[in-house]
Amino acid sequence: MLWLRCCGGSPFAAIAEDIARGQAMRRRGEAALAGMFVVACALGAGLPATAMAAEGNASDGAEVFKKCRACHDVGPTAKNKVGPLLNGILGRPAGSIEGFNYSEANKAAGAKGLVWSEEVMLKYLENPISYMPGTKMAFAGLKDERDRLDVIAYLKSFPK
């Protein structure tokens, strides 16, 4: 019914009614159309696309973060290492930890307004070198989206 409220009167209203009644989809391709319909409704309702994104698991993220510990630290006693400490990373401008010697690429990204949001972090962690050419972060990345979501959930548990 949420779909009907956010999209009632739209060209997708008939599809919403079919979905709401639980009717079987009759033609190939309607499943994909239904998925696009949900995204269109969310965007039409002003919800960010990430509101629909899967959430990570912080416990699993702690395990995945072990790959990051050689260079990064989190927690109450966290310090800069080869990489900057990551407490409060989400919402922070790139290249902004006092006392850390960032690459020119990272400082420039911050100067241009790059902020480490969940969306940016999700893309960056997939392949840091590709996302930010010139970064000092010599890490191949986390190819599995679930791992990236889990690490982000873990990092969220360490605010400033």
Buried b (16+ CB within 10 A) or exposed e, 95-109: bbbeeeebeebbeeb
Task: Report pTM.
Answer: 0.67
pLDDT band for position 54 (cuts 50, 70, 90):
confident
Q: In this prediction, what percent of the chain has a pLDDT beyond 90?
A: 64
- According to DSSP, residue 121 is labeled H
- Name which of 40-49, 81-90, 110-119, 133-142 the model is least confident about: 40-49
Whole-angstrom distance, CA of residue 83 vs CA of residue 90? 16
Q: What is the pLDDT of residue 122?
A: 98
Whole-angstrom distance, CA of residue 119 vs CA of residue 5? 27
